[in-house]
Amino acid sequence: MHGSARETLAGRASSAAGNPERMLGEGPPPAPAGLKPEDLAGNSAYWTRVAAAYAVDRDVIPLDNGNWGVPLRPVMRAYHKKLDFVSKQNSYWQRRFFRDDLQLVLGKTADLLGVSPDEIVFTRNATEALHALIGGYGRLRPGDQVVYADHDYDSAIAAMKWLRHRRGVEPVCIHLPEPASRSAIIDAYAKVLEQYPRIRLILLTHLGHRSGLVIPVSEIAQLARAKGVDVIVDAAQSFGQIDFTLPDLKADFVGLNLHKWVGAPLGVGVAYIRRDRIEDIEPAIGATGADVSGIAARSYSGAIDWAAQMTVPTAISFHTEIGVANKAARLQYLRDLWVGEVGSNPGIEILTPSDRSMYAGMTSFRIKGRTTSANNLALAERLLNEYGLFTVPRTGLVGGACVRVTPALFTSEDDVIQLANAVSALAQ
């Protein structure tokens, strides 16, 4: 029993690089060697086999895969086993082996993110990570200014506004240009940095959940740094949907999750703080333990779903086996397919630009002139009720509401073509 506790949980995790779940024969097929991501992206035979490795209900055609990701079957199986194990072992595993197992999982996660394990702490989701960073950012003084944009995530915006009461600062909201271009976005932030001399902190959302727009975070972060301004990056939608590692963002503070695009079970987020900046984020309320100077004290959740955290190595090994560049190229290819069908229709507005560095799989659209929340709720309802296509209406952009379409790796070409046909018919 003593030995088996180690073998069953950490043992599996530690050998996850060799992917023990693969032996059970249910994983996606390895990507064919020698094909570039952009050449593999349209290889329906390969992606049909990948799709078969997901257990997905197809009562409707699921095109809202930005809320969270369906994990692969073998990941879910590993999760169920670990949940069983943690439940059966109860406190014995948690008190005696959890710390070592956590270090192992943190190590694999840090490798994937391109950072060090002592720079990350697990949270339950990206929201909690962003709250820890925004709420804990300790360099603000009354009268300072903090900046966010209409494109940011609602709960992160709420946290930026909350700083007014908590820290006595002035939150400033900017509207990102629509249609967007790299230079227009960079100019917008450069202008803000000139215009508001008391800015201390900017919230940047790498891939926005309202339209799917990807902004040039590293350029903006460098502009900000040159003026002594920090950025907190929301990478909840971008990490795993786009091929990058955290140092590419040139930001000292990042919040993300592993349950959208890396394929972990629901309930795993990460807060990253560059090692020499840890003291700039205050310890979380209620953080206990000796080391309040370390990263672990920057978020504190008490008892949580440890089985989900312990399944992360299995998710990571499949994520890297398929290859994040291949995933990113496939998702972008599916987006391009439906946008290619409807994008030239003068009645339809596509909310991501044609610059391939400024979108990934997720993209929103609206029917020209139909900008209210009610218009877009009705549009998403018609897509569902008349065509069986499940999308999601989004509000909050200054240009108006829209409908968001997000394919996943189990989405087929036919799914997105059906969407394009439905959108064209409804735009008439």
How far out from the chain centre does Cα 44 lie? 25
- Select the span of 52-60, 122-130, 176-184, 350-358 touching ligand PLP (CB under 6 A): 122-130
- In one letter, which amino acid is 25? G
CB of 165 to ligand PLP, least distance (A): 22
Binding of residue 126 to ligand PLP (CB under 6 A): yes
Q: Cα–Cα distances in Å, from 127 out to 60, 256, 270?
A: 28, 8, 10
Residue 16 burial class via C-beta count within 10 angstroms: exposed 0-12, middle 13-18, buried 19 and up: buried
The upper half-sphere exposure of residue 203, i.e. CA atoms within 13 Å in the direction of its Cβ, equals: 34
Q: How far is the CB of 290 from ligand PLP (least distance, A)?
A: 29
From the list 48-56, 131-139, 230-238, 335-343, the region that binds ligand PLP by CB under 6 A is 230-238
Cβ proximity to ligand PLP: between 209 and 370 the closer is 209
The helix/strand/coil state of 365 is strand
Q: Does 205 bind ligand PLP (CB under 6 A)?
A: yes
| Sign of the C-alpha dihedral computed for residues 43, 44, 50 and 54 taken in this order | positive
Classified as helix, coil or strand, 179 is: coil
User: How many CB atoms within 10 Å of residue 14?
Assistant: 18
Map residues 134-173 to x or -, x wherever contact with ligand PLP holds by CB under 6 A: -------------------x--------------------
Least distance from ligand PLP to the Cβ atom of residue 96, Å: 30
Task: Determine the size of the site formed for ligand PLP (CB under 6 A).
Answer: 11
Pick from 269, 393, 396, 407: which binds ligand PLP (CB under 6 A)?
Answer: 269
Q: Does 406 bind ligand PLP (CB under 6 A)?
A: no
Among positions 115, 132, 159, 236, the unique one binding ligand PLP when judged by CB under 6 A: 236
| The residue count for the chain | 428
CA dist 217 and 245 (Å) reads 13
- DSSP letters for 113-144: HTS-GGGEEEESSHHHHHHHHHHHBTT--TT-
In the bound state with ligand PLP, the residue whose beta carbon lies nearer, of 16 and 236, is 236
Beta strands in 18-169 (DSSP E): 61-62, 120-123, 145-149
Closer by beta carbon to ligand PLP, 81 or else 404 = 404
Q: How far apart are the first and last CA of the chain?
A: 67
Pick the binder of ligand PLP from 21, 64, 119, 234 (CB under 6 A): 234
Stretch near ligand PLP under the rule CB under 6 A, chosen from 120-128, 139-147, 321-329, 417-425: 120-128
Judged by CB, which is closer to ligand PLP: 97, or 300? 300
Which parts of this chain interact with ligand PLP (CB under 6 A)? 125-127, 153, 205, 209, 234, 236-237, 257, 269
